[in-house]
Chains A and B, each alone.
Chain A
Amino acid sequence: MKALSQRRRHPLAALALLLMALLVTGGIYAAASTANEAQAQTTTFTANDVEEGSKLFSANCASCHGMGATGSDAAPSLVGVGAASVDFQVGSGRMPLQMDGPQAQAKPVQFTDEQTRQMAAYVASLGAGPAIPDEEILDASEGDSSNGGELFRVNCAMCHNAAAAGGALTRGKFAPSIDGTSEKHIYEAMVTGPQNMPVFSDANISPEDKQDIIAFLKTIEEQGSPGGADLGSLGPVSEGLFIWVAGLGVIIAFTVWLTSRSS
């Protein structure tokens, strides 16, 4: 105790104190909050799933992601990406990658649901990561679509467009249209951040808020366009194109007709 009090005026004492304070608050926060905790696996995978998944992985994914999914020059390590990531990438047809390019394109799904599940089980066994979401949290009818709409406009619309019709990013990358995307894939995209999308962790947007966003997306998808054909929901560009081509085109046809029998 004496040694400590003797050194209390040491030039580095303040720094040491600050470090200690940070460690204590950070440690307490990490212990008390579950938000940043890697989710425990809620869907149960059997050892058989993991083994089958490992075989499928070696046959279909390891050429880029490496044996043991530790990554290579061509593709990132998948340790800790979680089952949700595999379920999204493989389940939406983005993986296996069709070709190198600015980003993975969605294409027809290459594996059965069972095979996807087995690969997810294998990748989940490598390290803790986001799990495949539960059915209850994906139920759009339980969500609040107006809260979801506000969250969507603040967090998602700048890339995906206010009507979820998609938009351009730099150098050939893009945010796809969310129209027709399943509840599960929307949720998984938010927790895993595929391609250029940021991760929206549970600390950022809570699972209930994610459910609200899904409710909003499903509401606008199912209600259709109240005002007639939506012209791609692309805003004033498609409206301008339409009035110049179709609107003015029809008017010109009439002007030609009206002056066709003249002097």
Chain B
Amino acid sequence: MSSSTATTTYTPKTRVGKVTDYVDSRVGGSGIVKEFGRKIFPDHWTFMFGEVALYTFVILLISGTWLTFFYDPSMAETHYEGSYLPLRGVEMSVAYASSLDISFDIRGGLFMRQIHHWAALLFAASVAVHMLRVFFTGAFRRPREFNWVVGCVLLILSLAAGFTGYSLPDDLLSGNGLRIIDGVMKAIPVVGTYLSFFLFGGEFPGTMIIGRLYVLHILLIPAVILLLIGIHLFMVVLHKHSQFAGPGRTNTNVVGYPVGPVYAAKAGGFFFIVFGVLAAIAAAFTINPIWNYGPYDPSPVSAGTQPDWYIGWVDGALRLMPGTLGNNFDFEFMIPFPWGVNALSLNVLIPALVPAAIVFTLMFAWPWIEAWVTKDKREHHLLDRPRNAPSRTAIGVAGITFYCVLWAAASSDLIATHFLVSLNDVTYWLRALVFLGPVLAFMVTRRIALALQRKDREIALHGRETGRIVRLPHGEFIEVHEQVDDYKRYKLTSFDSPEVMVPKPDENGRISRLDKVHGRVSRFFFEDRVAPVTPKELAASHGDHHDEIAGAKDRESIASH
């Protein structure tokens, strides 16, 4: 296509060409297409979760816009007159009545509600999996630290979007969820009650909250998410996509297909696949059957009241927290202030805020924590295989374990009824696991990662075990090892393996306290280490291995096992 400078000399011949040239000479589209159309993206299935998140967000915008046409965020009281018999005549809010109308009296309404809700669950799940991929492959390292932070904010916003939407139907389930939020806010010392009154416009539940959440849900949160998605993708283009190591794939290039035409077609098609999968789920599986729960009323609480999955871990923490320790210590303190006595309710504050504070602080700060440990300030465009960063992988799995134990705790009642165990025992076990689980997960994962590295090393040096046992002329049995090809060997051998950094004294011969701490942390991270295969080792083993039926070296390797 022509660029803007060429328009003076280029005259298109066809009608389409003329129209295109007319538009292009005014908006400069060809320059953009030229730049972005040749953007290269590497192929790996794990790189597609960000795309899934983007597409589910688009589906959320489309289905959500449709829902706003029929939803009325009013908490005025009405009597339901729609077609769902078991609720006919029941007093409820207009918001709940309009949600029921969407479900039963508006054509396609139930499908749209269900695809919106399923898409929301998948949106949060794909954001989470996308972040896990970025974490475990080290894609957050320089120069992508800020984009990691933008992603973290997007994760929190997706939780906020989900929670505000969950509350809108004003059914019993979502009202119970709001009641927990109200309780957590009121547990904040001194200002808690004021905050709660501010949010709810008076005493819970009041008549304001649905309208306020609606504005946040359809206006503010999606707008900020869109803005941050723009920044996120801009930075992806700016940094170029990272890739796994391989022959010809270096830190300074990107090997893959260009956006136009291959990736545009693939990504466009993938959008429709995601849309199709969600539509099939929404058509066949019910989600949030609000007609079961009934209108919100502060007095009843149903068994099996849980939040959507992404808030589950906070609910789980609240369930695990003991009300008292022994018979006397009840985590509740009365603090005298000049204006009176304020309660400090730690049995609510600790589970509601501490796990989230730990997880989110570590998540936001991780790129800088790791850079401080490794003292690695280089740019990284090649991804780590998780096994090649054993300590990072182990910390990640420990974090997942911590999260999953809390997550499981949110379904402690269903674990009890479905596995026929005592609810109390489930709670006791999970209380222990929330502390011990991450430690165990860390140790086990690091061992597994190191073992996999050792296996890689063996394969790179001696090849794959074929399972073919051969008897040599003098009667000895050996197993034939088959050498892997060069591509495979490249992947097995080309990775960084940081070593322990011993603190060095400065010019005065002193070692600062921070350096000592750094030395200890570095030893913790990198003391257990499997060195990558050096070219020298490779050459040494290579010489022996050209015959398929290997000789002395194979026998050695068998003997050494």
A91 at the interface (CB under 8 A from B): no
Residues 240-263 of chain A, each 1 if its beta carbon lies under 8 Å from chain B, else 0: 101110111011101110110011
Bound: A248/B423 CA distance, A:
29
Write 6 A-B pairs (CB below 8 A) sorted by A numbering: A146-B86, A153-B293, A242-B285, A247-B277, A252-B45, A262-B256
| A168 B417 Cβ-Cβ under 8 A | yes
Residue among A146, A150, A237, A254 having the largest count of chain B Cβ atoms under 10 Å: A237
Bound: A162/B174 CA distance, A:
13
Q: Name which residue of chain B comes closest to A149, CB basis.
A: B86
| A256 B85 Cβ-Cβ under 8 A | no
CB distance from B70 to the nearest CB of A (A): 16
- Point out the residues of chain A lying under 8 angstroms from B104, CB to CB: 226
Residues 446-475 of chain B, each 1 if its beta carbon lies under 8 Å from chain A, else 0: 000000000000000000000000000000
Bound: A157/B172 CA distance, A:
11
Q: Name which residue of chain A comes closest to B420, CB basis.
A: A172
A127 at the interface (CB under 8 A from B): no
Q: Which of B122, B284, B300 meets A154, CB within 8 Å?
A: B300
Residues of A contacting B: mostly = helix
Residues of B contacting A: mostly = helix
| B304 A146 Cβ-Cβ under 8 A | no
| A237 B306 Cβ-Cβ under 8 A | yes
Q: Taking A157-B302, A216-B86 as contacts, is the C-beta distance between A244 and B125 under 8 angstroms?
A: yes
- Point out the residues of chain A lying under 8 angstroms from B126, CB to CB: 248, 251
Bound: A220/B217 CA distance, A:
32
- Point out the residues of chain A lying under 8 angstroms from B302, CB to CB: 153, 157-158, 161-162
- Point out the residues of chain B lying under 8 angstroms from A246, CB to CB: 281
| B86 A219 Cβ-Cβ under 8 A | yes
B273 at the interface (CB under 8 A from A): yes
Q: Taking A146-B87, A167-B413 as contacts, is the C-beta distance between A161 and B304 under 8 angstroms?
A: yes
| B417 A166 Cβ-Cβ under 8 A | yes
Stretch at the interface among B307-315, B516-524, B533-541: B307-315
Which A residues fall within an 8 A CB radius of B? 102, 145-146, 148-150, 153-154, 157-163, 165-172, 174-175, 216, 219-220, 223, 225-231, 233-240, 242-244, 246-248, 250-252, 254-256, 258-259, 262-263
| A244 B417 Cβ-Cβ under 8 A | no
Q: Which of B45, B47, B305 meets A235, CB within 8 Å?
A: B305
| A174 B417 Cβ-Cβ under 8 A | yes
A162-B304, A226-B104 known; 11 other A-B pairs, CB under 8 Å?
A: A158-B302, A168-B412, A168-B417, A170-B424, A171-B423, A172-B420, A172-B422, A220-B86, A237-B306, A258-B270, A263-B255
Q: Name which residue of chain A comes closest to B87, CB basis.
A: A146
| B289 A233 Cβ-Cβ under 8 A | yes
| A162 B292 Cβ-Cβ under 8 A | yes
Q: Taking A102-B422, A153-B172 as contacts, is the C-beta distance between A228 and B416 under 8 angstroms?
A: no
| A243 B294 Cβ-Cβ under 8 A | no
Q: Name which residue of chain A comes closest to B284, CB basis.
A: A228
Q: Which of B47, B90, B121 meets A243, CB within 8 Å?
A: B121
- Point out the residues of chain A lying under 8 angstroms from B306, CB to CB: 235-237
| B286 A236 Cβ-Cβ under 8 A | no
Bound: A150/B80 CA distance, A:
13
Bound: A245/B480 CA distance, A:
40
Q: Which of B90, B125, B173, B309 meets A146, CB within 8 Å?
A: B90
- Point out the residues of chain B lying under 8 angstroms from A236, CB to CB: 173, 288, 306-309, 312
Bound: A219/B257 CA distance, A:
57
- Point out the residues of chain A lying under 8 angstroms from B278, CB to CB: 247
Q: Which of B44, B411, B416 meets A237, CB within 8 Å?
A: B411
| B45 A227 Cβ-Cβ under 8 A | no
CB distance from A204 to the nearest CB of B (A): 15
Which B residues fall within an 8 A CB radius of A? 42-49, 52, 85-90, 103-104, 110, 114, 118, 121-122, 125-126, 129, 172-173, 255-257, 266, 269-270, 273-274, 277-278, 281, 283-289, 291-294, 297, 299-309, 312, 410-414, 416-417, 420-424
CB distance from B156 to the nearest CB of A (A): 18
- Point out the residues of chain A lying under 8 angstroms from B87, CB to CB: 146, 149
| A146 B286 Cβ-Cβ under 8 A | no
CB distance from B405 to the nearest CB of A (A): 15
| A228 B43 Cβ-Cβ under 8 A | no
Bound: A150/B79 CA distance, A:
13
Q: Taking A153-B294, A227-B287, A243-B121 as contacts, is the C-beta distance between A251 and B277 under 8 angstroms?
A: yes
- Point out the residues of chain B lying under 8 angstroms from A165, CB to CB: 304
Bound: A172/B172 CA distance, A:
26
CB distance from A16 to the nearest CB of B (A): 40
- Point out the residues of chain B lying under 8 angstroms from A229, CB to CB: 284-286
Bound: A166/B302 CA distance, A:
10
Bound: A226/B412 CA distance, A:
28
| B410 A237 Cβ-Cβ under 8 A | yes
| B309 A240 Cβ-Cβ under 8 A | yes
Residue among B172, B266, B417 having the largest count of chain A Cβ atoms under 10 Å: B417
| A240 B257 Cβ-Cβ under 8 A | no
| B125 A226 Cβ-Cβ under 8 A | no
- Point out the residues of chain A lying under 8 angstroms from B103, CB to CB: 226-227
- Point out the residues of chain A lying under 8 angstroms from B286, CB to CB: 225-231
Bound: A238/B308 CA distance, A:
10
Q: Taking A162-B294, A228-B283, A258-B270 as contacts, is the C-beta distance between A243 and B42 under 8 angstroms?
A: no
Instruction: Give the 5 A-B CB pairs with smallest separation, nearest first.
Output: A167-B303, A240-B309, A227-B286, A262-B43, A168-B413
CB distance from A189 to the nearest CB of B (A): 16
Bound: A165/B305 CA distance, A:
12
Bound: A225/B274 CA distance, A:
25
Bound: A231/B422 CA distance, A:
23
- Point out the residues of chain A lying under 8 angstroms from B129, CB to CB: 248
Q: Which of A169, A223, A244 meets B423, CB within 8 Å?
A: A169
Bound: A243/B308 CA distance, A:
11
| A157 B86 Cβ-Cβ under 8 A | no
Bound: A145/B277 CA distance, A:
36
CB distance from A260 to the nearest CB of B (A): 8
CB distance from A76 to the nearest CB of B (A): 23
Q: Name which residue of chain B comes closest to A256, CB basis.
A: B45
| A251 B122 Cβ-Cβ under 8 A | yes
